[in-house]
Amino acid sequence: MTDSSRRPLAVFDLDNTLADTAHRQRFLERKPRDWDAFFAAAPADPPIPEGIALVLQSAQECEVVYLTGRPERCRRDTLAWLAAQGLPDGTVHMRRNDDRRPARRTKLEILRRLARDRDVRVVVDDDELVCDDAERAGFPVVRARWTAPSAALKTAQEGEGRT
């Protein structure tokens, strides 16, 4: 049963929803993919104005939660980036370093866990497969279509379970 005495949740993805990863896509376009370089470059991600504005607007009525496919080893850099953008504090859910499941599976699992005792007001993500599965599960979704889709990132998210 959901706890209606607490503020609803607004759940935000990071990469290509709040953080523009275009400058580091090149590390995924080579063979083999250079995951260490891809994640090491994340602190330099420019913020995406549409996503940042939506987080700030959502924070007026909701508790903000961040749900990313980034591995746990990126936590320090991720928290520093969120703080540098002036974004609201919120729990950051990251995948285990050894978790290679598709993003849509790991994220839906966490969304369902969150929804057990909280109202999830909105899920904001750029990954169409995550959005499709979240909608099918009954979550309200905003599709973050404010950056150009990356085939390399989609393969990484779904085929390699890396982000």
User: What tens digit of pLDDT does each residue of 40-95 get?
Assistant: 999 999 999 999 999 999 999 999 999 998 999 999 999 999 999 999 999 999 98
| Alpha-carbon span 93 to 95, nearest angstrom | 7
Which residues are CB-contacts of 115 (< 8 A; sequence separation ≥ 6)? 2, 139
pLDDT score at 3:
55
Q: How much helix, strand and coil, in percent to the nearest 5, is found in the chain?
A: 40, 20, 40
| Alpha-carbon span 71 to 121, nearest angstrom | 25
pTM: 0.88
**Residue 66 · residue 93 · CB < 8 Å:** yes
Percentage, residues of the chain above pLDDT 70: 88
